[in-house]
Chain A
Amino acid sequence: MLVTSVGKLRLERPGMVASGIMDETGPSMMRMLRSGAGAVVTKSIGTKPNPGHPNPVFTELKAGYINAMGLPNPGIELFGEEMAAAAKAGHIIGSIYGSSPEEFSKLAGKMEEYGAAAVELNLSCPHATGYGMELGTDPAVIRSIVSAVKSSVTIPVWTKLTPNTHMIKDLAVAVREGGGDAIVAINTVKAMVISPQFGKPILSNKFGGLSGPAIRSIGVRAVFDIRTAVDIPIVGVGGISDWKDAVQYLIAGACAFQVGSAVGTKGLGVFDTINLEL
């Protein structure tokens, strides 16, 4: 089996659970660790409880899923309960979202206190106003947030980038300049699905993020581009469901990878299968 590390963080198993997947509660994260994941990235957690967007927030498409959950989460204070047992069971990467460097720093500090092995800055969610990719497509904003978080925690700081940009190399350079320890690429691709029968968008938020096999080639290209721009570790994510998909990301320049949608299409055994095949 491939043993790898993302900077200082050593992973006995290279496949992690991507943020947003089976990671809102302690028991669900522990189940994913037992299912063979090398680490679990939490649902993105903000400063306050957030119900997310109303249903429909999700649907299956021919080659993937589209979702606009809208960052539902119980808020950083209550999330401590969920982290308590999970962080003892294995590597938990705390995904966080905020609207300013101060909010990100406060959230990262809490995650460190809760025992997170690293934080992952969500600067890439495509379906939440004022958060995610609305901040994460501006290199100057990325630099200031990464640098603020770096100065407030001692655990590694990862930044998840969006593919919804023509300048992903500039975003990657901004992460490095801010002192970021690693880049996670990619988040979902901004997309929309319309019901032809009703003549209306299906998601309540109208647009959402596309994931699954449909976006794998976009992710591999993004990782390849990022690798030409910076030399910090890259975690590849987007449409991985077997070892061949994972290897594409590793060859493009990633040192580890995350799996999301395939947890639904292949089942919880997907991590064991990929790890064994590698």
Chain B
Amino acid sequence: MCGYKNVTTSALGGNEMLDISAWFNDLLAGNLIFTPTTLGYYWEGLVTTTQLVFLSLIAGLVLAVPLAIMRSSKHKWISLPIYFYTYVFRGTPLLIQLYIIYYGVVFIDGIQETFLWPLLREAFYPALLAFTLNTAAYTTEIFRGAIKTTSKGEIEAARAYGMSDSLMMRRIILPSAFRRALPAYGNEVIFMLHASAIASVVTLMDLTGAARFVYARFYAPFEAFLFVAAIYLCLTFAILYFFRFLEKKLLAHLRPQTN
């Protein structure tokens, strides 16, 4: 599966284009399940999954930074509500959160008349909202852990320079916490990719939705789900290697020196 991409890209030279489409048609000839149409569904699914996961991760990240700072606050009245939020969202299944948001918004009186309805009407936005709140909760805790383990020396050095709390947070604590959070955050990204499979439950045609469609139409569970599993596996590896690469770049200073 993963190798398939290489085949096409390496062969994409000038008039060889024709050969590829011929090869592609040969490959599909006599195959009742993987027709260009069903592959189109898988492609649409890939686009939907990518959009959902990418957007929710970005939004979750943006939310998580201030939340993590608040969660690390010495004042209980600031940190406790955030703790409550992360505890609830990390302690309950995402599926329930999705149901509550998807079915819940509909029964708020008069919601259909508000400007929000065109968004909430689509399954995409309630799902995006649920995913964002979920990943923000996990990411907040990851960052909090990283902020907590900032070395005393760094903080003392910053204080000795006369930095204010906010400047220290911006210049010293956050940058080093981000780096330390990287491996755990990489896991969270993979987790989100996998969790997004439940989007098909609220009618979204994501990758899993496409597989369910193919399964229901052709009664072919092995073909439908093995194919989509292979796509997820490729995506997972891509994320994994991307974060390994980032770690290598950003965490170089933490590795034992060789010379």
* A and B held together in a complex: no
